[in-house]
Structure 1
Amino acid sequence: MADDAAVRTLACPACGGTVAMRAAGYTVTLACEYCGSLIDVAHPDARLITRYAETQASLAIPLGTRGMLRGIEWEAIGWLERTDGWAAWEEYLLFNPYHGYRWLIAQDGQWSLGTMLTAAPRYEGGEMIVDGRSYSSFYHDNRARVTRVAGEFYWRVKVGEEVRSRDYVRPGFMLSLEEDDREQSWTLSELLSAREIRRAFDVPPPPRWMPGMTPLAHQPSHYARRIREWLPIGAIAFMALLVLLMLFGRTMQPQTFGFPVTPDGAQVSQSFGPIIVPVGRQAMTVETLTSNVEQGWVDIEIAFVNRKTQESYEAYALNEHYSGYDSDGSWAEGSRSQILKVASLPAGTYDLVVDAQAHHWGSSADSSSWNPVSGRYETASQPPVDVSLTVSRGARFLSNFWLAVLLVLVPPLLMLVLHILFENARLAQKDGPDPDASDWIRGLANP
């Protein structure tokens, strides 16, 4: 940055105050810091353009402030406020004698660094291309008007000055075209991080977006970044859960027992054992199979009974199967097998006590005989149903697995909802056709 001694001074023709001109040789218009008058410094006598009667705005970055941004020391030498009739924003003109000018644009607490382009972007496929990056149309046919001004500028700026503008965006960047009847200029603005702008000019950090707020057109969703960061974590967690399911969800040392039960007959009770559980808190799996049940069902109640303490751990299964024909052809429903799981058995020796009763669908007094002992109709012509039980140590609880998967997915799902809300608020400002799939995909892309 040039030494302070090299800064040129002149007297304000309105109030006589000494005004410093930091970009001598470049500056055309200068605003007096004491009375706010605009001065034409290109005129040999520093001609007064207009008086600015109102008090200057309280600037977030006072003119003359220097800050290190992207490895270059910049000085804020000019400030203006603009509006397009819908939104208002501020633009600070930064100057460095070796790097020229940049724009520091402030809107809704967010800050962007703007660089003037020396060549017009290339138009291709409905988008603008700069350095291989595409920018989609967002605002078009707007008019930006200067409402307040202070400091020095490289053109004769005045309140009421108006230009036509178009804006094209990609996450984190805005490409802007400004034109009037004499010229057009392109500026590429990049959204600055809170840390970057605060380190450079000690301004308050931008507000964090919350539902109900309106983001900038080029403001990227920080939820999209978090979703991308969570994807590998979620994949690793899912694979770890699969490994745990395979390691600890295995069944071993199966024991098989069986007995017949007559449809519509008396309940059959059987006891099998011993079943030894060598370690505590052991899960057990019992598969019940009734391979020949047809047009009926079997109620099966099981209980692991500890031989020493007589504690009982119970479960219930309903095996059933039905079939037939109708206008659509053959049909079948029900399941002849069920899987029962007992989550946690203490160590010990157990008996498996089984109570089973079979029923035939459609039994009536015409096809069955009354048994006064059992107090029900019994179908003597139905063959016995074979009940088979396979008892194994261990169990695979898929519900626990999917619950764990759901817990892993809760953070990215929540961030996805917030990202959708963010993109809805951002794209609602877009001019022209409604947003399409490409807009949503672009919102998830890296800046």
Structure 2
Amino acid sequence: LDVNQGRLSYLKTLERKGPQPSVPLGSTAEFEGRPLTVIGFMVRSVEFEGVRYFWQEYLLYNPAIGFRWLVESDGHWSYVHTVPPGEVVESGKSAIYGGRTFRVFQDAAARVEYVEGEFYWKVSVGELARATDYVAPPLMLSKEVPIVADASRRRAVLRAEEVNWSLGSYTPLKEIEQKFNVSLPAPTTVAPNQPWPHKKIYGYWAALLVVALFVGLFAFVTGSRATVFTQSYTFQPTPTPMPAPPGAPVTPPVATDEGNEKVQVVFTDPIPLRGRRNIRVTGRANVENNWLYVEGDLINEETGLVQQFELPIEYYYGVEDGEAWSEGDREQEVYLPALPEGKYTMRLEAQWENWNQAAPPQVSIQVEQ
């Protein structure tokens, strides 16, 4: 198509009576590494709740790659090309193309309001099509089905055998201005397929969040605390039962043994805790090449609310190849969230290695707020 000859050239000489295209007919710009020429211009609209919304479409052409479109709405631009209908899968309010899921944005009857230039089909003012747009920024997947008059039924019907799909990619305003060397109106809204323009703010917010987290943690750890409970416990060894004489009745054990482990339980007196204050529980034990495991519960006497915690304490040391080594720690601490104000009984369930040894470990429990 030659925009300098024939019908298009003639249209350019006529006195304009319709809307002025933002990009003049005959303009050329490079897309996909090839020059494309604007050969057609139309204005279309849809109606929602009695209000009609308009947008502009520009048909571009290059003999090597065929037809493309530029679509402008409220100052936003998209570069559009057709896609094979067989490659699109619709499912409810979404559509899948190229492995990507698009969500429905709008579904309405689009009407041609103005036409100028040349097109690859006979288009006329008043032409209708059902237009469904699906978005996955910066892309918009659009489906159009022509609406034609059915004289036998005296109503408009969809021409289901003619379905057209296209894929638009959001194109920044400055890029369109540079390509066509024109000045264009700035956008007045946010486009449905417009990418979020302030992605960098996420990085700033993430950095601020990390700083706030460390400041809060520092204040939490180093802030003034009061000890609300401290107590030491010495657990008693449980002798290994002697074998019963032949013929004597067997007495079942009081507790179940598991290998070299045995559980003992103690309860504390009520501990007053304040509300809106985090809690630190510290456990210290004189373990020597063994371990002590404490499982605790803070139990609200009035409501029955239970806050669990664990204190695994272990310490091992020795000499290997002439070098001393050690691992673990005789002290462990755990931080608990704030609990409702009230009195709490603490239940401590302890088990340790070699529970039947003559000198079992001693453990000290401290609660701070």
TM-score by length of 2: 0.50
Deviation at 1:190, TM superposition (A): 1.0
Matched, 1:143 2:103: no
User: How far apart are the structure 2 equivalents of 1:57 and 1:9?
Assistant: 23
Which of these residues, 173, 181, 190, is aligned with residue 215 of structure 1?
190
Judging by fraction of residues, say which structure has more helix: 1
2:178 is aligned, of 195, 199, 207, to 199
Secondary structure of the corresponding residue to residue 153 of structure 1 = coil
Partner of residue 64, structure 1: 26
**Counterpart in the other structure of 1:82:** 44
Q: Which amino acid aligns with 1:84?
A: V
| Closer/same/farther in 2, CA of residues 236 and 35 from structure 1, 3 Å limit | same
- Are 1:133 and 2:100 counterparts? yes
Cα distance, 1:136 vs structure 2? 1.1
Q: 1:300-354 deviations in whole A, cap 9, x for unaligned?
A: xxxxxxxxxxxxxxxxxxxxxxxxxxxxxx784779xxxxxxxxxxxxxxxxxxx
Q: How does 1:9-28 map to 2 (within 5 A)?
A: 9-10=5-6, 19-20=8-9
Tell me by how many angstroms 1:226 deviates.
Answer: 3.3
Q: Distance in 2 between matches of 1:126 and 1:288?
A: 58
CA distance, structure 2, for counterparts of residue 238 and residue 91 of structure 1: 49
- Unmatched runs of 5 consecutive residues or more in structure 1: 13-18, 21-30, 37-53, 252-284, 292-329, 336-447
Give the conservation status (yes or no) of the 8 Å contact 2:83–2:165. Answer: yes
- 1:29-49: CA deviation from partner (whole Å, max 9, x where unpaired): xx722237xxxxxxxxxxxxx
Question: Amino acid of the residue matched to residue 129 of structure 1?
Answer: I
Match of 2:17 in 1: 55
> Structure 1: which amino acid aligns with 2:96?
I
Aligned 8 A contact 1:84 1:144 in 2: yes
Task: Note if 1:122 corresponds to 2:89.
Answer: yes
Contact 1:69 1:196 in 2 (8 A): no
| Residue range with higher mean Cα deviation, 169-178 or 190-199 | 190-199
1:98 maps to which of 64, 73, 86: 64
User: Post-superposition shift, 1:61?
Assistant: 0.6
1:222-371 equivalence runs, <5 A? 222-223=197-198, 225-230=199-204, 232-234=206-208, 237=211, 332=272
Q: How far 1:102 moved relative to its partner? A: 0.7
The alignment-based identity, stated in percent, is 29
Shift of the 72–232 alpha-carbon distance from structure 1 to 2, 3 Å rule, reads farther
- Does the 8 A contact of 1:110 with 1:206 survive in 2? no
Corresponding position: 1:153 with 2:153: no
- Cα distance in 1, alignment partners of residues 191 and 98 from structure 2: 23
Distance 1:83 1:235 in 2: 45
Decide whether aligned partners of structure 1 residues 198 and 241 sit closer, same or farther in structure 2, where only a CA change above 3 A counts.
Answer: farther
- Helix, strand or coil for the counterpart of 2:195? coil
Cα deviation, 1:46-77, whole Å, max 9, x if unaligned, reads xxxxxxxx624222111011112343321111
For residue 32 of structure 1, give the secondary structure of its aligned residue in structure 2.
Answer: helix
Structure 2: distance between partners of 1:242 and 1:158 = 66
**Structure 2 residues not aligned, in runs of 5+:** 147-158, 230-269, 276-369
Q: What is the CA-CA distance between 1:109 and the residue it aligns to?
A: 0.5
**Mapped partners of 1:58, 1:126: distance in 2:** 36
Deviations 1:233-280 (A, max 9, x none): 34664587689x69xx999xxxxxxxxxxxxxxxxxxxxxxxxxxxxx
Counterpart of 2:73?
Answer: 107
Q: Is the 8 A contact 1:173 1:188 kept in 2?
A: yes
Q: What's the secondary structure of 1:218's corresponding residue?
A: coil
Instruction: Report whether the alignment pairs 1:162 with 2:141.
Output: no
Q: Secondary structure at the match of 2:207?
A: helix
SS of 2:85 mapped into structure 1? coil
Alpha-carbon spacing, 1:104–1:233, altered in 2? closer, same or farther (3 Å): same
Q: 1: CA distance between counterparts of 2:209 and 2:179?
A: 39
Aligned counterparts of 1:8 and 1:286: Cα–Cα separation in 2: 84
Q: Secondary structure at the match of 1:207?
A: coil
Deviation of 1:118 after TM superposition, in Å, equals 2.2
Residue equivalent to 1:432: none
Tell me, yes or no, if the aligned pair for 2:75 and 2:173 is still in contact at 8 Å. no
d(CA) in 2 for partners of 1:188, 1:79: 19
Q: 1:169 to 1:77 in 2, by over 3 A?
A: same
Distance 1:8 1:290, change over 3 A: closer
Kindly indicate whether residue 151 of structure 2 is the aligned counterpart of residue 176 of structure 1. no
Shift in alpha-carbon separation, 1:164–1:172, aligned structure 2, 3 A: same
Q: Distance in 2 between matches of 1:219 and 1:145?
A: 24
Q: Secondary structure at the match of 1:228?
A: helix
1:188-228 superposed Cα distances (whole Å, 9 cap, x missing partner): 111112332222123446636xxxx64222223324x2343
- Within 1, Cα distance between the matches of 2:127 and 2:20? 22
Amino acid of the structure 1 residue aligned with 2:85: A
Name the SS of the counterpart of 1:222 in structure 2. Answer: coil
* Residues 242 and 148 (structure 1), Cα distance of their counterparts in 2 relative to 1, 3 Å cut: same
Contact kept in structure 1, 2:78 and 2:171, CA below 8 Å: yes
TM-score, scaled to structure 1? 0.42
Aligned to 2:261: none
